[in-house]
């Protein structure tokens, strides 16, 4: 064997070895030599191509030197190509019949690109040229070598059927009908540029994709393929007309695309150079089909020739530099391909029939003669096949090769379900239906929807954390924007990560009854609607009461924070019966207009609540509906579609792009989002949401095996005198209180009472059948409970005789049933009490002990005061001068009147004097349109006995007054 490197031996047939030194040749020289040896147009050897040339139109597969489109072997045609042939394909024929080659590589690689322009008038074949180019590239490059982003601003058929190509990273159509997608497309393009730059940097600071791919092919197995990306934008002129600022994205790609192998091909019917704003300097090759005017032809090609082209589609000029311009006819791929079969014999052989043999210095035996290659004959397309060349090719390549990297994710159009977001719901014997993964996150952290992040070409969950300083939440959006649905989704998400012992929800539903389907939800403690004003007020009172009680409980147990309480409660060392409490107000604007007296209590709850685990979730139509002093307390804010984008507190420009789909909105970074549906059945349909909620309630309830959570305690619709006395006795440690019991208050469900010695004046407004007379009967019973007959006398002014027979004779001072009787009786009574006015001889001690007079307390009960005080006079008026000293004189005045017209009664001398003296007022059911009747409180429609008590010391207290039936029906 040869001993020197590179030496060889020639062994003849006689087995004699003759050493020699062979000539050397480099790889570059070998490739150049090979190219010179095959410097013949391969399609010229194809008989089919010859015939196509003869008739002036060539099949694309013939130009590519490929067999019948039905028989293409993609494992072969997608084999790695020489660098010279990369991104270099024929798309038609030149005038001389030779293939027209389009090479979109950059000029440094002997290409025409990297960016180009196609302009063609209607009917010029522009769309077909684009389809031909895309198909030519996909037939010769694998998805590892080349990907596409295909954009059609008008939503035409240019890229129809291309979704099946594995090369396609995105097909974006119909941008003109939804301009919000244009901004998303701009972010997606910028994101792809950034992704490639970061990939090059992370892989070893490669200067460009060419170096990256060279290293990958050279053995860097850790590197993923980074294919070239061709962005084809049809009707880009209309895109720039709608969004002129988009040109900056194209210019950026024109500037950096060369190193990142991101190529632009812009197509349009017209060209307005003024809108390109520097982009034209990056468009190195240009294709001009027939144009609308000579000026447009000059703008594209520098000459008017494209304007004079014949009115046949597919004919145009390719200008690849300042001197070269070639006329061509593009191949047509949207028609059926010719059917071919093999003939028995033929006269010509094509390059596909050639065989590669090893060439050595040894002698070569003569090859035996071979039969002539069979000739391919064209037949008409088979009648059962209707597919075009394009469609058949796409069908053949679909599903082959690696899928392209997705530059464009589908827009947010179909809402996910909360079950989709969790993805791991299981039934736990102790915890019920739960998401273990999200429960482990803790901090009341839950997903509520999907956020679109086009700049990073991904989606992420919309996540809120309500366990800390951001524990209050506001959802703002226009009508039908999905506010109520998101409120239900929030309740559902928290319920699927916590047990009914750990979270409780009190809901005030002004959103059209959207929470009606959740009435049986295990975590729902209370639900109030617009038609239940008493329950609405009771709900707020309950939360206030719980907050006050928890503050006392924390102090008594030495609990310094809600986190400590949660931990100790889980350990079983403390428990006040509640976990984290959520007050949900769906319709804040309604509360402010119809329940304005509840705004301040809810603000107080929000101000103190987070320290004690009490949260507020509210929905509103506009941010302006939420006063600054409330909004400042809200740390989690979600903005859905607004009626006026200028109201946005996130981003006014981005808010204008939010679509009308319910649930769409902006996250705090101004990214588009779509909130989830409160269902776990996997059905992503808002139309059948009621069925999904029913299924949710049923499944959550069936999975929970523990005790039911605490429920809203409601005021009774009626409480008897005996029941009230028993309740007061228990609350007073077993002994009856020495105060006058009026009813049970809403906040604490405890007896409400007044001290007759300190509060001798009381007035009450209410419409018919609201409980006025029953209240007076209750007062009579309380007088008799507190005073013996010799210590109290009752004087009744009752024109309708509603209290006739209710007062025992031993307590009755007088029963006045007419104007004349009342006038005389009250005058006598006023004179009697004037005699108790202390004179100058009364000592301070007597004044302090009220011992300068003796006798019974006098209780004046006036029913239907509106019938008593008329234009004919007011018989009760003589008592007015005595009201200021009533407590000292043993005088008590209690009157009732109709709520209608009560605003005018404010100027009545008796009522005006009572108001000035801060007397306790009671509002029963009435018409809110009467305005503010006692202080700033309006009457509201309510059940009999349901009252708002306005007290100087206790403010406004909702209560159910005691009910005493009449003695005689």
CA distance 372 to 351: 13
In the chain, the largest separation of any two C-alpha atoms, in whole Å, equals: 163
Q: What is the dihedral of CA 452, 456, 458, 460, to 10 degrees?
A: -60
Using an 8 Å Cβ cutoff, are 654 and 508 in contact? no
892 has which bridge partners? 859
Name residues whose C-beta falls within 8 Å of residue 778's C-beta, 6 or more positions apart in sequence: 721, 741, 742, 961, 962, 963, 964
CA distance 611 to 511: 29
Q: Residue 697: phi, psi to the nearest 5?
A: -60, -45
Which of 519, 525, 522 lies closest to 538 in space, CA to CA?
525
Instruction: Calculate the CA 605 to chain-centre distance.
Output: 27
Strands (E), 218-308: 228-234, 262-268, 285-289
Q: Which of 59, 192, 213, 235 is catalytic?
A: 235
Using an 8 Å Cβ cutoff, are 264 and 282 in contact? yes
Joined tokens for residue 610: 């987070």
CA distance 588 to 790: 55
CA distance 764 to 869: 15
Burial of 796 (0-12, 13-18, 19+ CB in 10 A): buried
CA distance 66 to 197: 36
Distances 936 to 67, 459, 901, 919 between C-alpha atoms, Å: 90, 51, 16, 15
H or E stretch including 780?
A: helix 772-786
CA distance 715 to 366: 112
Return the percent helix, strand and coil in the chain, to nearest 5: 35, 20, 40
Name residues whose C-beta falls within 8 Å of residue 700's C-beta, 6 or more positions apart in sequence: 432, 433, 495, 496, 521, 522, 523
Pairing of strands 672-675, 445-453: antiparallel
User: For residue 867, is the peptide bond before it cis, meaning its omega torsion is within 30 degrees of 0?
Assistant: no
Which of 316, 319, 321 lies closest to 128 in space, CA to CA?
316
Residue with the two structure tokens 């999975």: 703
Identify the DSSP state of 486.
H
Q: Residue 776: phi, psi to the nearest 5?
A: -65, -35
* Other residues' Cβ atoms within 10 Å of the Cβ of residue 593: 11
CA distance 498 to 502: 6
Residue with the two structure tokens 């093999």: 342
Q: How many CA atoms lie within 13 A of 604 on its CB side?
A: 13
Q: What is the dihedral of CA 900, 905, 911, 912, to 10 degrees?
A: 140
CA distance 675 to 563: 29
Render 516-539 in DSSP notation, one character per residue: GGGTT-TTEEEEEETT-HHHHHHH
CB environment 141-165: b (16+ within 10 A), e (fewer): bbbbbbbbbbbbbebeebbebbeeb
Q: Is 178 a catalytic residue?
A: no
Catalytic residues: 235
């Amino acid at each position: 064997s040869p001993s020197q490197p590179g030496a060889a031996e020639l062994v003849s047939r006689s087995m004699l070895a003759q050493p020699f030194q062979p000539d050397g040749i480099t790889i570059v020289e070998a490739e150049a030599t090979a190219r010179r040896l095959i410097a013949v147009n391969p399609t010229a050897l194809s008989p089919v191509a010859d015939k196509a040339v003869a008739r002036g139109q060539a099949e694309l597969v013939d130009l590519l030197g490929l067999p019948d489109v039905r028989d293409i072997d993609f494992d072969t045609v997608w084999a790695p190509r020489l660098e010279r042939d990369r991104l270099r394909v024929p798309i038609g024929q030149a005038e001389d019949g030779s293939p027209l080659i389009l090479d979109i590589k950059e000029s440094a690689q002997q290409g025409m690109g990297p960016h180009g322009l196609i302009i063609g008038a209607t009917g010029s074949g522009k769309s077909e040229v684009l389809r031909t180019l895309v198909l030519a590239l996909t037939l010769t490059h694998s998805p590892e070598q080349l990907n596409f982003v295909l954009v059609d601003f008008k939503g035409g058929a240019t890229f129809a059927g291309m979704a099946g190509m594995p090369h396609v990273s995105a097909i974006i159509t119909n941008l003109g009908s939804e301009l919000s997608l244009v901004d998303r497309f701009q972010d997606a393009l910028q994101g792809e540029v950034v992704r490639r730059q970061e990939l090059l940097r992370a892989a070893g600071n490669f200067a460009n994709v060419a170096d990256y791919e060279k290293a990958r092919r050279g053995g860097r197995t850790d590197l993923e393929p980074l294919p070239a990306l061709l962005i084809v934008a049809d009707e880009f002129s209309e895109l720039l007309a709608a969004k002129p600022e988009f040109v900056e994205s194209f210019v950026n790609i024109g500037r950096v695309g060369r190193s990142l192998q991101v190529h632009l091909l812009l197509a349009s019917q017209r060209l307005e150079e003024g809108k390109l704003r520097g982009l034209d300097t990056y468009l190195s090759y240009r294709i001009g089909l027939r144009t609308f005017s000579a000026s447009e032809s000059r703008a594209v090609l520098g000459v008017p020739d494209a304007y004079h082209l014949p009115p046949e589609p597919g004919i145009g000029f390719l200008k690849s530099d300042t001197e070269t311009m070639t006329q061509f006819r593009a191949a047509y791929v949207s028609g059926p391909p010719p059917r071919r079969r093999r003939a028995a014999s033929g006269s010509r052989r094509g390059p596909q029939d050639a065989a590669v043999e090893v060439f050595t210095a040894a002698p070569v035996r003569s090859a035996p003669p071979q039969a002539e290659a069979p000739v391919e004959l064209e037949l008409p397309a088979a009648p059962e096949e209707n597919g075009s060349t394009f469609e058949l090719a796409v069908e053949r390549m679909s599903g082959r090769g690696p899928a392209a990297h997705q530059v464009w994710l589908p827009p947010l159009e179909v809402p996910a379900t909360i079950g989709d977001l969790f993805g791991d719901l299981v039934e736990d014997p102790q915890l019920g239906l739960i998401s273990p993964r999200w429960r482990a996150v803790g901090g009341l952290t839950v997903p509520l929807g999907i956020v679109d992040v086009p700049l990073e070409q991904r989606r992420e969950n919309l996540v809120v954390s309500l366990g800390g300083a951001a524990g209050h939440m506001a959802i703002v959006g226009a009508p039908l924007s999905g506010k109520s649905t998101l409120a239900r989704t929030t309740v559902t998400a928290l319920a699927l990560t916590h047990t009914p012992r750990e979270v409780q929800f009190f809901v005030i539903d002004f959103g059209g009854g959207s929470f009606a389907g959740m009435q049986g939800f295990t975590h729902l403690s209370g639900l109030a609607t617009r038609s239940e004003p008493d329950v609405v007020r009771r709900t707020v009172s309950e939360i206030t009461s719980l907050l006050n009680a928890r503050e006392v409980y924390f102090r008594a147990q030495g609990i310094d924070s809600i986190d400590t309480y949660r931990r100790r409660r889980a350990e079983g060392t403390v428990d006040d019966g509640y976990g984290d409490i959520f007050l949900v107000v769906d319709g804040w604007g309604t509360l402010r207009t119809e329940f304005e007296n509840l705004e301040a209590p809810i603000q107080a709850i929000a101000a103190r609540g987070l320290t004690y685990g009490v949260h507020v979730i509210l929905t509103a139509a506009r941010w302006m509906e939420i006063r600054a002093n409330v909004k400042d307390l809200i740390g989690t804010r979600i903005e859905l579609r607004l009626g006026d984008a200028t109201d946005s507190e996130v981003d006014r420009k981005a808010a204008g792009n939010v679509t009308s789909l319910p649930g769409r909105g902006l996250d705090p970074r101004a990214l588009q989002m779509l909130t989830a549906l409160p269902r776990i059945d996997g059905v992503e349909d808002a139309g059948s949401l009621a069925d999904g909620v029913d299924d949710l309630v049923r499944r959550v309830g069936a999975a929970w095996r523990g005790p039911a959570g605490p429920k809203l305690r409601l005021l009774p619709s009626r409480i008897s005198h005996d029941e009230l006395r028993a309740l007061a006795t228990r609350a007073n440690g077993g002994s009856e209180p020495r105060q006058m019991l009026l009813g049970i208050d809403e906040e604490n469900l405890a007896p409400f009472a007044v001290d007759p010695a300190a509060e001798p004046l009381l007035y009450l407004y209410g419409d018919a059948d609201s409980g006025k007379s029953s209240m007076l009967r209750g007062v009579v019973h309380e007088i008799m409970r507190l005073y013996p007959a010799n210590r109290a006398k009752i004087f009744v002014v009752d024109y309708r005789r509603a209290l006739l027979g209710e007062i025992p004779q031993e307590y009755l001072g007088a029963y006045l049933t007419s104007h004349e009787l009342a006038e005389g009786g009250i005058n006598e009574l006023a004179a009697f009490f004037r005699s108790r006015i202390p004179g100058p001889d009364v000592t301070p001690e007597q004044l302090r002990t009220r011992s300068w007079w003796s006798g019974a307390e006098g209780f004046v009960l006036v029913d239907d005061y509106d019938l008593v005080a008329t234009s004919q006079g007011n018989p009760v008026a003589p008592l007015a001068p005595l009201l200021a000293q009533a407590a000292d004189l043993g005088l008590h005045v209690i009157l009732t009147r109709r709520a209608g017209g009560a605003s005018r009664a404010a100027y009545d001398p008796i009522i005006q004097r009572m108001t000035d003296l801060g007397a306790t007022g009671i509002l029963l059911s009435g018409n809110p349109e009467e305005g503010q009747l006692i202080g700033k409180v309006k009457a509201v429609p309510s059940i009999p006995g349901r009252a708002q008590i306005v007290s100087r010391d206790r403010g406004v207290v909702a209560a159910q007054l005691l009910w005493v039936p009449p003695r005689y029906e």
